[in-house]
Structure 1
Amino acid sequence: MIPFTQEAGAALLEELSVDYPQLQKLNPEFVPVQHQGLFLEVEPGSEKFRLSCNTVAAAGRGLGMALSGESGQGHAPFDLLAVMLDVSRNFVPELSWLKRLFRRLALLGFNCVMLYTEDTYQLDGEPFFGYLRGGYTLEELRELDRTARRLGIELVGCIQTLGHLEQVLKWNRAYQPVTDTPRVLLADVPETGNLLRKMIGFWSQALSSRRIHIGMDEAHDFGRGRHQDLYGPADSFRLFSRHLARVAEICREYGLEPMIWSDMYFKINDPERFYRNSILPAEALREVPAGVRLVYWDYYNDRQEHYTDFIEGHRQFGRLPIVASGIWTWSKLWYDHHKTRSTVPPCVNACRQTGVRELIFTMWGDDGGFCHWESASAGLAFAAECVYHTEPDNTRIARRFKAVAAADYGLVTRISAMEGYHRLADGYEFRVRAAVLLYDDPLLRIALRGYRKAIPEVAAERHAVFLRLLEELKTAGSRSGEINLDLARAVLTALERKTYYHLELDAAWPVRDRKRLARLSREVLPELAAAIEAYAAELRREWLKAARPFGLEVQQIRLAGAIARARETALRIDEFLSGSIPTIPELEAAPEPPWPYEPIPYAQVATASSIL
């Protein structure tokens, strides 16, 4: 936490005024106070308002409160209130976009930002770090650090030092000596140690914070590739702890305090490699390096008791964990409010109950970073409300969101209904992802087949939702603040046409209804292709406004493929109708999957082939 001083308050006000010049007219009177956690109180006055606060972050939230015309108190019982932004999954924001985000986060009361960078930073002597990926330079990160500190925000590096390094290791001619498996670094060799020193040294120089997140999550196959070839089978726990100890020692050499995602400690002890609560043997606990903080991450559960149990399970390491919840942006076309709303409050309440003092909200970009990131500001406003108030108030959030983001909170969160959730008979919440529906091949229909095993009428149900959302957007403008409603319209139109195509094909193909099939090929599928093209144009416009161009090519390749496959489907139907082919084999393919199927990444629904 950065304590409040009058000098810090003046710097905060000056930095915020870049995007919010109206703050200067509010004429705040800052009053420093002593308090645990993050505390603020806004009291209106005739000519100026009084803002009592104990940290710069609390002052920022107080200014956000004043902008929305509110007064009263706010208290977050946390020392660290962080947002982790994934800038490694193709979407690498420009500095100007990040600075605007920092200012918005300051007005919401956050005091830390973590930049998740697998390879998107430029290391001296390592030309493939950030190569054609938009990697940040040392000076760029220092510039961001200066802006963040003026806003009361601690900027922290969040990297990987074991797994999740496939973006670098794929350059195998350069990185073969440090490769265990295609995603995991090779432990126990000096070449890996040299690379890690460069990585950690870079972040030590780039940022003023002495914290660093060194990752080490989901390295499920570590020690089972070249390491096993070189040294034979290894005890997973001891190998993991040995590698972590070496990374932690490098951190200490640079004066950094490391934290890691905690899942591997629990997975290693689990025969099925599940991240579930378990009691670790005493000898295993002794191998955990001193000074390494554990981050318990969980973005999926809606029961407070679950979070409480896991937090208590981490006590066996001798200290409460840092806890990470999620603002749901990954594998999404639009921020997912349903999932955020169902998982964030129980997590925050469990942290309050157990005395956790450090909380992170992650914003991942899995499968390409194609979410409309501006829409996730609604999730940030919601999460901040959950932290500073024991009971979230939608009216208060909407006022704050209007003041901070100049956008309609209700509309933005309602659009997120493009993500479908269905509670099955066994209690499982089955997910129907909008991105999966968009990319599902129109002839192979891989996702649709799997979805229908759980929800037979999924196409009709989703089609009705898309129509309803498009109807609501008819009276909205092109934008709501920085949130692009034209992008929402474009993708919803594509989704509506896609699900309508499925409904019509299901009605026409089994009986070979030639009239309906002709309409599909000559009207519906061309409309689908045009809608996807319109979405691609909006996505390009929004991406280049916010981020570096590297990575956009992935979405353009995917969308161009979706357009081509819609046109191919129309052509195949025409060929069938003309008699030049006797049938369409893809539509006759059997069997259907024997169980419900929830595909996530693009590669699982674009083709049944592993070659893509």
Structure 2
Amino acid sequence: MYFIPHPKRIEHFPGFCHAERGFCVESLDASTQSLAQAMLTQLDKTGIPIRLEHKTVHVPTSLAHHDLLAREAYRLTIEADAVVIDADHPTSVRNAFATLQQLARQAEGLLPLTLIEDYPSIPYRGVMLDVSRGKIPNRTKMEEVIRLLASYKYNVLQLYMEDCYVLESHPVLSRSNGYYTKHEVQYLDAYCKNYGIELQPNFQCLSHAHGLLRNPGYHTLAESEVSLFSFAAGKPEIYGLFSDIFQEVLPWFSSKTLNLDLDEAYDLGTGYSRQAVQERGGREVFKEHILKISAIARNAGAERLQLWGDCLNKYPNLQAELDDDIVFIDWNYNPLKHFPSLENHDAKAHPFWLAPGTSSWNALFPRTQQANANIRNYIHQGFDQQVQGVLITHWGDYGHHQPISFSYHGFVRGAEHSYNGTAISEESLDTAMDVLFFADANQSKAYALLSSINTLPAVTTAFKTQIFYAFFDDLFKGLSLIGNDAYPAISKETFASVENLAREALDQLGQSRSGSVFQQELLQAARCLAFTGRKGRLSHTIKKTFLENAVDEDQILAWILDLKELYRTFLSLRNEFVRLWNHEAVEIGSEGAVYAFDKAASRYAEAVIWLNSQRLALHQGLPLDTRMETYTAHEGYTTLWTGNCTNLWDRAYPWR
């Protein structure tokens, strides 16, 4: 039997419990019955009875945060004629049900007699979902996410919000993106509660504020009126705005924890706050902003505050100058063996959390190897330093093209590491994933094949996957073909490997028995990758043949046909992208992601027009442009991370 997270103690005994008809929960109180109905798939009045006994389960006192951990401890005993759960808190009962469900899935009605004693090693285990970069998950998708998190014993979910809330006091805000209403947040809050999860608000309170600042009447609140990216720290009017936001939106959540973010304050001191920074220093100006925002949040009902910890790299030991209710969240998404930023924290003086990432963003398929190493190593080092919480992040940079489900793999692996703290072998976790996460062996093999693409030469650069850029890139002089100091060019050989691996994945997916939406999303990713490999190979072939001056009219006409076929496939992929988007998210907000497709569509016509100019040159006896010097359609073409933050159209950032 396999479990994620793996329980602390498992003991098997001879014999079985015949639970072919499922479980009976009639002896449980109403709230526990409701929880059982949420967590267990097979319930029947004639099934094996589940009995709840409110007995304490021992948790070693040597563990940091012992009292918080003890609230989630449980004992699950599979007897011949009953299932007995010892637990004295709703979340510990939820954890027991999650383990029982995983056991029942594998046992197919014949449960081995078993004693399981279990408790987490890190008290707060959560996921942060970016809902501010265009994709607003609909209710069905959010319910799916919440059920998934509960089944792997998470207890926190944060919604990262830059501007996606509707305010009665500021109705113009959120017009440019999708949004959640008071009614919808309250529904999700109640749904989370039913699954033992705390839905925590997360509001960006300094940078990444372009969704708010690019509205009429609000641009004057910006640090820089060129980029309209960050709030002007110290400007009185912004604190009035945040008072309105907090007073109106915080009551939508039952949680008293609020993440203020305040990360990546790169332009602090470059505009409105320049004089203050010059006179008092950036540390003091930043600290004053934190204190003012924190006071406003507390006045609106927040009792526990969080903010991202990257500022501690610039302002060491800032924790000592702030209030005790502020917890820093260290974040890092790199696949490091050691994380120096964790040295900014002393858990005995100030509790802290850490935030790894699923590396699903800026990619056609997640950078799985990067995410696995980041999540595993980061959490293990944090556990050694007595970290209080883990927040696995799912970001949606540059339009949130990737499906939410492409972070599920990272969520599940993160559940194992954040629950147990210490290392489990990668082989054991992979085997458990095959049993509990993937639909079948074919889907698992396809996932591994698609993941391996991101390890090819020049494909992955930091938090970006070059193949994603190549999908939208210019056909003859695109960044993915010519490269620069930051982004190396992708070779023809690498493009060929991308196509071959994607086609192998398509073959495996074709043999899978799964009919899930996740399967459809995997198919879409594999087709996009196969397309990108084919496109890149063709681009290299055309460029090389011209450079060798080995072009004739038939070859040009054949290439034009190839490009038209590519364009037809590209449109098909665009349409499937829109269909899958609408399945998991509201339509508003998709325009930023779809625009990348529509903008890239012009590349095919430009390539054909230029090729035809060379065909005509052959007819006229003129020399070919072997170096493509007359091809200028690439000039001014940008997409994704080469977009222009200041043009108020591109979904980009002040950096590239």
Normalised by the size of structure 1, how large is the TM-score?
0.85
Distance 2:347 2:118 in 1: 33
Shift of 1:586: 8.1
Select 1:414's aligned residue among 445, 449, 471: 449
C-alpha distance in 2 between matches for 1:239 and 1:489: 48
Q: Is the 8 A contact 1:82 1:359 kept in 2?
A: yes
Change (3 A) 1:500 1:177: closer
The residue type equivalent to 1:470 in the other structure is: R
Separation (CA, whole Å) in 2 of partners of 1:577 and 1:30: 80
Q: 1:587 aligns with which of 628, 634, 656?
A: 628
Kindly provide the CA deviation profile for residues 500-523 of structure 1, in whole angstroms up to 9, marking residues without a partner as x.
213312431211322485266323
- 2:447 maps to a residue whose letter is V
Decide which moves more: 528-537 or 574-583: 574-583
Q: Distance in 2 between matches of 1:226 and 1:189?
A: 8
CA distance in 2, matches of 1:453, 1:299: 18
Instruction: Describe the SS at the equivalent of 2:172.
Output: coil
Aligned to 1:331: 362
Q: Show the counterpart of 1:497.
A: 534
- 8 Å Cα contact 2:200-2:258 kept in structure 1: yes
The residue identity in structure 2 corresponding to 1:415 is L
| CA distance, structure 2, for counterparts of residue 454 and residue 194 of structure 1 | 42
Q: What is the alpha-carbon distance in structure 1 between the residues aligned to residue 241 and residue 463 of structure 2?
A: 42
Which protein shows a greater Rg? 2
2:218 equivalent in structure 1: 175
**Which residue does 2:544 correspond to in 1?**
507
Instruction: Give the match's secondary structure for 1:185.
Output: coil
Q: Which residue of 1 aligns with 2:379?
A: 348
1:395 maps to: 431
* Residues 129-151 of structure 1: per-residue CA shift (max 9 Å, x gap): 22141211111100100000000
Instruction: Quote how far apart the aligned CAs of 1:209 are.
Output: 0.6
Residues 408-458 of structure 1, C-alpha deviation per residue, up to 9 Å, x if partnerless? 44433432334245499xxx9796532112122113221222279987773
Of the three residues 199, 206, 213, the one matched with 1:155 is 199
Task: Choose which of 334, 345, 355 in structure 2 pairs with 1:300.
Answer: 334
Relative to structure 1, is the Cα distance of residues 572 and 40 closer, same or farther in structure 2, using a 3 angstrom cutoff? farther
Query: Within 5 Å, which residues of 2 pair with 1:87-486?
Result: 87-171=131-215, 173-181=216-224, 182-228=228-274, 234-256=280-302, 257-267=304-314, 269=315, 279-280=316-317, 286-303=320-337, 306-307=338-339, 309-315=340-346, 318-389=349-420, 390-391=423-424, 392=426, 393=428, 394-402=430-438, 408-422=443-457, 432-450=465-483, 458-477=491-510, 481-483=516-518, 484=520, 485-486=522-523
Structure-1 residue corresponding to 2:33 = 10
Residue 15 (structure 2) aligns with: none
TM-score, normalised relative to structure 2 = 0.79
Closer, same or farther: CA 262–230 of 1 in aligned 2, 3 Å: closer
Identity of aligned residues (%): 19
Of stretches 487-496 and 565-574 in structure 1, the one that deviates more from structure 2 is 487-496
Q: Which residue in the other structure is 2:611 paired with?
A: 573
Q: 1:40 to 1:365 in 2, by over 3 A?
A: farther
Offset of 1:61 from its aligned partner? Answer: 3.1
Residues 413 and 42 (structure 1), Cα distance of their counterparts in 2 relative to 1, 3 Å cut:
farther
Deviates more, 1:189-198 or 1:25-34: 25-34
Q: What is the alpha-carbon distance in structure 1 between the residues aligned to residue 606 and residue 218 of structure 2?
A: 40
Name which of 86, 102, 106 aligns with 1:65: 102
Instruction: Mark the CA change 1:222 to 1:409 in structure 2 (over 3 Å): closer, same or farther.
Output: same
Looking at structure 1, the residues matched to 644 and 562 of structure 2 have their Cα atoms a distance apart, in angstroms, of: 20
Q: Secondary structure at the match of 2:398?
A: coil
* Kept after mapping to 2: 8 A contact 1:51/1:62: no
**Aligned-partner Cα distance in 2 for 1:610–1:209:** 35
Matched residues in 1 for 2:165 and 2:474: separation? 35
Relative to structure 2, which stretch is displaced further, 67-76 or 450-459? 450-459
Inter-CA distance 388–265: structure 2 relative to 1 (3 Å threshold): closer
Distance 1:588 1:352, change over 3 A: same
Q: Which residue of 2 aligns with 1:595?
A: none
Structure 2 CA distance for partners of 1:606 and 1:123, relative to 1, 3 Å: closer
Cα separation, 2, equivalents of 1:578 and 1:28: 81
Cα distance in 1 for partners of 2:433, 2:218 equals 48
Matched-pair contact (CA < 8 Å) for 2:449–2:501 = no
Greater CA drift, 553-562 or 384-393: 384-393
Instruction: Say which is worse superposed, 570-579 or 455-464, in terms of deviation.
Output: 455-464
Letter in 1 for 2:531: A
Q: Deviations over 1:11-56 (max 9, x none)?
A: 2222346xx4679967654455434534455544445544555625
Q: 1:76 to 1:482 in 2, by over 3 A?
A: farther
Cα distance between partner residues in 2 of 1:509 and 1:526: 20
1:532–1:189 Cα change, 3 Å: same
Q: What secondary structure is seen at the aligned counterpart in 2 of 1:474?
A: helix
Paired letter, 2:396: G
Once structures 1 and 2 are overlaid, which stretch shifts more, 139-148 or 56-65? 56-65
Do the aligned partners of 1:28 and 1:49 also contact (CA within 8 Å) in 2? Answer: yes
Which letter does structure 2 place at the counterpart of 1:196? F
Residue 227 of structure 1 deviates from its aligned partner by: 3.2
Alpha-carbon separation, structure 2, partners of 1:31 and 1:376 = 36
SS at match of 2:540: helix
Using the TM superposition, give the Cα deviation of residue 7 of structure 1 relative to its aligned residue in structure 2, in angstroms. 5.1
Residue-by-residue CA offset, 1:179-214 (whole Å, 9 max, x unaligned): 222111123333211111122223321111100001
Cα pair 2:548 2:626 within 8 Å, conserved: no
Cα 1:127/1:466, change in 2 over 3 Å:
same
The one-character-per-residue Cα deviations of 1:296-352 (angstroms, maximum 9, x if unpaired) are 11111421xx23x43232229931311111111211222321111121110121122
**Helix, strand or coil for the counterpart of 2:223?**
strand
Paired letter, 1:368 = G
1:123 aligns to what SS in structure 2?
coil
The secondary structure found in structure 2 opposite 1:83 is strand
Q: Distance in 1 between matches of 2:82 and 2:576?
A: 43
Q: Is the 8 A contact 2:480 2:487 kept in 1?
A: no
Sort the Cα spacing of 1:508 and 1:49 in 2 relative to 1 into closer, same or farther, 3 A. farther
Task: Supply the RMSD in Å over aligned alpha carbons.
Answer: 3.5
SS at match of 1:294: strand
Distance 1:549 1:451 in 2: 36
1:65 counterpart letter in structure 2: Q
Q: In structure 2, what residue type is equivalent to 1:259?
A: Q
Amino acid at match of 1:187: A
Question: Helix, strand or coil: the match of 2:157?
Answer: strand
CA distance in 1, matches of 2:551, 2:648: 34
SS in 2 for 1:514: coil
Relative to 1, partners in 2 of residues 1:540 and 1:582: Cα closer, same or farther, differing over 3 Å? Answer: farther
| Cα shift readout 1:511-560 (whole Å, capped 9, x = no counterpart) | 13224852663232222212221211111111001101122212222112
Following TM superposition, the consecutive aligned residue runs of length 4 or more in structure 1 with deviations greater than 6 angstroms are 22-26, 229-232, 428-431, 451-457, 609-612
